[in-house]
């Protein structure tokens, strides 16, 4: 099957979040299953700085944006380590900037114009390159207008009109909402600006366009697919999602099981696998404690947290339990975010010398070393569409403690007498977003950690599961096939 994937970021070209991991890995996995994927991205400034082999495809186009017309070009490359073609939309006015979506403190004022241009440029590129996709797979608000364009402006372009569309929600908290007069930039008929289609509380909403016009909708875990149909998590679009519930599917993300595999990672103090996890983790833990300036204590558990220091990640809950935790354990944190939590970590390190270490920023190599050296991983998110760090932890035999939301609920099986007996237990879960509920889960974990035989079983349960992209890609391929069959039946 010929599949065009469209995203605003993808590893290794540009990344701000989990979307980039999906867009960089899924095409490779689809290709390994025999499909023919192609990936479309903007050519950001940071893409050029990578020094990749990109070539001008010698194709230029003009995109109307309201009263003016903007020229763009296509550059062509490949996803590193694969034969998957990557097409990058070259337009310096829009994409030659330091940030992808904003300055770090505010979104760019012209994001509507930038991503209208990108979406129409992708469709023009498909036409001019002579591609004939069976499926156009769109991702998040930056591509939400494409399903609407396929049904309207491009309905008489056979190569595009024949394609089915899948729209994947990676995070419904980001809707792509703009001033209603920006509707003129899209080239779409103003009749579509109504409460059933593109209008959202008086504004233009890219996310809503994708949800209305795509043939199928997916999101990044089955539980998140259910959650976003509620008023609590639906961002005002829960009614629309309930109306399309039969066409909505949750598919858990995979991980790169070569890059995140303690048997292969070169930066680890000792490589290990499921058979040698007990000895391997002990050595990785000793190295990590020394590297981080923590006491070298094999007799107490080492907890880890990697990611944004943000209330959404459960940091208000962590702040309440941190002192109690450090009375009997150690904590290492890698990430950056709200200054309040930076200060909190500094104060914790002063109150608990040798037991708390924090690295404010991000370091890919250290992230691997922390996953390998820690005993437990803390992920008490208030919401989490899928989550990747719990999967990295499971792959390393690092036992996660998570709140049962989104993809965390779908991947972490709570440790109970029953799940221990049937071999499915791989972590600890709690339901209520409170510090007390988190602390009860931590206490259960601390108690079981002393039972080394059972703990090693728990680690091996996590390591033995299939967290690869092959599993996820097969589910996407099934969804593509369902869309294609529906398209053929409609013709």
For the segment 328-332, the average pLDDT, to the nearest whole number, is: 97
Q: Do residues 221 and 169 make contact, with C-beta atoms less than 8 angstroms apart? A: no
- 486 and 368 co-located in one domain: no
Return the percentage of the chain with pLDDT > 90, whole number.
Answer: 92
Task: Provide the pairing of β-strand 2-6 with 203-205.
Answer: unpaired
Sorting pLDDT into bands at 50, 70 and 90, what band is 184? very high
Sorting pLDDT into bands at 50, 70 and 90, what band is 211? very high
Judge whether 401 lies within some domain. yes
- C-alpha to C-alpha distance for 50 and 291, rounded to whole angstroms: 30
Instruction: Name residue 68's beta-bridge partners.
Output: 65
Return mean pLDDT, the chain: 96
Judge whether 263 lies within some domain. no
Judge whether 25 lies within some domain. yes
Return the percentage of the chain with pLDDT > 70, whole number.
Answer: 99
- C-alpha to C-alpha distance for 467 and 485, rounded to whole angstroms: 29
Residue-wise pLDDT for 384-416, tens only, equals 999 999 999 999 999 999 999 999 999 999 999
Compute the half-sphere exposure of residue 138: CA atoms within 13 Å on the CB side of its CA.
33
CATH of the domain at 161: 3.40.50.2000
User: Which of 183, 192, 131, 191 is CA-nearest to residue 157?
Assistant: 131
Q: What is the pLDDT of residue 459?
A: 98
Longest dimension (CA), the chain: 70
For the segment 145-160, the average pLDDT, to the nearest whole number, is: 96
- C-alpha to C-alpha distance for 361 and 341, rounded to whole angstroms: 13
Beta strands in 195-354 (DSSP E): 199-200, 203-205, 216-219, 248-250, 302-306, 330-335
Residue-wise pLDDT for 273-328, tens only, equals 999 999 999 999 999 999 999 999 999 999 999 998 999 999 999 999 999 999 99
Q: Which residue has the tokens 């190569």?
A: 159
Sorting pLDDT into bands at 50, 70 and 90, what band is 237? very high
Q: What is the pLDDT of residue 350?
A: 97
- 248 and 362 co-located in one domain: no
- 404 and 427 co-located in one domain: yes
User: Which of 283, 398, 293 is CA-nearest to residue 356?
Assistant: 293
- 311 and 180 co-located in one domain: no
- C-alpha to C-alpha distance for 394 and 168, rounded to whole angstroms: 25
Residue-wise pLDDT for 63-84, tens only, equals 999 999 999 999 999 999 899 9
Q: What's the domain count of the chain?
A: 2
- 322 and 412 co-located in one domain: yes
Q: What is the pLDDT of residue 383?
A: 94
Q: Do residues 158 and 26 make contact, with C-beta atoms less than 8 angstroms apart? A: no
The structure tokens listed for 105 are 């403190």
Judge whether 270 lies within some domain. no
The number of beta carbons lying within 10 Å of the beta carbon of residue 484 is 17
Judge whether 335 lies within some domain. yes
Q: Tell me which of 487 and 20 has the higher pLDDT.
A: 20
What is the full DSSP assignment across 469-487? HHHHHHHHHHHHHHHHHHH
Indicate the pTM of the whole model.
0.92
For the segment 111-125, the average pLDDT, to the nearest whole number, is: 98
Sorting pLDDT into bands at 50, 70 and 90, what band is 151? very high
The structure tokens listed for 479 are 């969804």
Q: Is the pLDDT of residue 26 over 90?
A: yes
Judge whether 265 lies within some domain. no
- 24 and 152 co-located in one domain: yes
**Which range, of 143-147, 208-212, 289-293, 360-364, averages the lowest pLDDT?**
360-364
- 227 and 373 co-located in one domain: no
**Domain interval for residue 31:** 2-254+470-490
Sign of CA dihedral 179, 114, 6, 133: positive
Q: What is the pLDDT of residue 491?
A: 59
- 7 and 31 co-located in one domain: yes
Q: What is the pLDDT of residue 362?
A: 84
Q: Is the pLDDT of residue 266 over 70?
A: yes
Sorting pLDDT into bands at 50, 70 and 90, what band is 17? confident
Q: Is the pLDDT of residue 438 over 70?
A: yes
């Amino acid at each position: 099957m010929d599949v065009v994937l469209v995203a605003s970021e993808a590893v290794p070209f540009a990344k701000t979040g989990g979307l980039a991991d999906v867009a960089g890995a899924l095409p490779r996995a689809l290709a390994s299953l025999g499909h023919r994927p192609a990936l479309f991205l903007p050519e950001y400034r940071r893409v050029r700085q990578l020094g990749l082999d990109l070539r001008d495809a010698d194709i230029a186009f003009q995109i109307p944006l309201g009263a003016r017309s903007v020229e763009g070009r296509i550059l062509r490359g490949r996803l590193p380590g694969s034969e998957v073609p990557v097409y990058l939309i070259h337009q310096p006015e829009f994409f030659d900037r330091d940030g992808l979506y904003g300055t770090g403190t505010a979104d760019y004022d012209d994001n509507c114009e930038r991503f209208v241009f990108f979406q129409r440029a992708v469709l023009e590129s498909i036409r001019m390159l002579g591609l004939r996709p069976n499926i156009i797979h769109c991702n998040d608000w930056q591509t939400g207008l494409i399903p609407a364009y396929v049904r309207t402006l491009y309905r008489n372009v056979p190569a595009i009109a024949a394609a089915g569309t899948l729209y994947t929600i990676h995070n419904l908290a980001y809707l792509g909402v703009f001033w209603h007069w920006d509707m003129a930039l899209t080239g779409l008929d103003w009749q579509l600006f109504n409460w059933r289609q593109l209008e959202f509380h008086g504004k233009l909403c890219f996310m809503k366009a994708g949800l209305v016009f795509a043939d199928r909708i997916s999101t990044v875990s089955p539980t998140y697919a259910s959650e976003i149909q509620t008023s609590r998590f639906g961002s005002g679009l829960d009614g629309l999602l309930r109306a399309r519930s039969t066409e909505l599917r949750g598919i858990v993300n995979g991980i790169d099981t070569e890059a995140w595999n303690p048997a292969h990672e070169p930066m680890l103090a000792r490589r290990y696998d499921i058979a040698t996890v007990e000895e391997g983790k002990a050595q990785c833990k000793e190295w990590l404690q020394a590297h981080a300036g923590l006491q070298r204590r094999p007799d107490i558990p080492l907890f880890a947290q990697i990611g944004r220091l943000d209330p959404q990640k459960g940091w208000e809950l962590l702040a309440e339990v941190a002192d109690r935790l450090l009375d009997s354990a150690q904590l290492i944190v890698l990430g950056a975010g709200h200054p309040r939590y930076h200060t909190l970590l500094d104060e914790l390190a002063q109150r608990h010398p040798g037991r708390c270490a924090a690295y404010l920023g991000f370091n890919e190599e250290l992230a691997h070393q922390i996953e390998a050296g820690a005993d437990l991983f803390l992920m008490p998110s208030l919401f989490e569409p899928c989550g990747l760090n719990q999967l990295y932890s499971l792959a390393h035999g690092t036992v996660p403690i998570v709140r049962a939301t989104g993809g965390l609920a779908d991947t972490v099986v709570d440790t109970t007498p029953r799940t221990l007996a049937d071999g499915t237990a791989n972590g600890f879960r709690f339901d209520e977003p409170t510090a007390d509920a988190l602390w009860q889960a931590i206490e259960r974990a601390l108690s079981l950690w002393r039972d080394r035989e059972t703990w090693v079983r728990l680690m091996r349960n996590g390591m033995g599961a299939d967290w690869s992209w092959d599993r996820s890609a097969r589910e996407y391929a099934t969804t593509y096939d369902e869309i294609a069959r529906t398209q053929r039946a409609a013709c």
